[in-house]
C-alpha cells in the first residue's frame, strides 16, 4: 500500500522544480540565497513528504502525481508553450530564446529560397 503524498510548501516545490531542471544543489542555493546544507535539508523534507528514495525518484513521483508538469525547452514549441501559459518566453534560461531565434532564422531562409 502506498501512503498518500503530503503537500509541499512553496519553497520545497521551488527546489523540486530546480532539481527537475537539472540544477545542482550549489546552483539552487545560490539562486535562492540559502546554504548548501539548507538545500539538502529541504531535499530531505521533499523525499519524506513524497515517500521517495532519491531526488530523481521524487521528480518522477511528482510528475506522476501532477505536482510537476513536463516542460519543453530550447525550441519553437517550448517558446510557444511559455506564451500559452502567459509567461514571458524571452526570460527563459533553458534555451527557449535561442531556439526561437534559430527557428525564425530557418523560416526566413526557407522563405528566401522559396521566393
pLDDT recorded at residue 5: 67
* CA-based nearest residue to 10, from 84, 67, 54: 67
User: Hey, which CATH number is domain 10-65, 1.10.10.10, 3.40.1410.10, 2.160.10.10, 3.40.1160.10?
Assistant: 1.10.10.10
* CA-based nearest residue to 20, from 53, 64, 69: 69
Instruction: Please tell me the distance from the alpha carbon of residue 58 to that of residue 31, in angstroms, as a whole number.
Output: 21
Q: How confident is the model at residue 1 (pLDDT cuts 50, 70, 90)?
A: very low
30-65 confidence digits (pLDDT tens): 999 999 999 999 999 999 999 999 999 999 999 999
Sketch the domain layout of the chain as residue ranges: 10-65, 76-114
For the whole prediction, is pTM greater than 0.85? no
Instruction: Please tell me the distance from the alpha carbon of residue 75 to that of residue 85, in angstroms, as a whole number.
Output: 16
Amino acid at each position: 500500500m502506498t501512503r498518500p503524498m503530503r503537500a509541499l510548501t512553496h519553497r520545497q516545490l521551488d527546489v523540486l522544480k530546480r532539481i527537475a531542471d537539472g540544477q545542482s544543489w550549489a546552483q539552487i542555493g545560490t539562486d535562492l540565497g540559502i546554504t548548501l546544507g539548507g538545500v539538502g535539508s529541504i531535499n530531505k523534507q521533499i523525499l519524506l513528504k513524497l515517500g521517495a528514495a532519491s531526488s530523481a525518484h521524487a521528480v518522477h513521483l511528482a510528475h506522476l502525481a501532477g505536482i510537476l508538469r513536463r516542460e519543453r525547452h530550447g525550441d519553437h514549441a517550448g517558446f510557444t508553450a511559455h506564451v500559452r501559459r502567459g509567461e514571458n518566453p524571452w526570460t527563459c534560461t533553458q534555451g527557449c530564446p535561442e531556439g526561437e531565434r534559430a527557428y525564425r532564422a530557418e523560416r526566413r531562409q526557407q522563405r528566401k529560397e522559396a521566393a
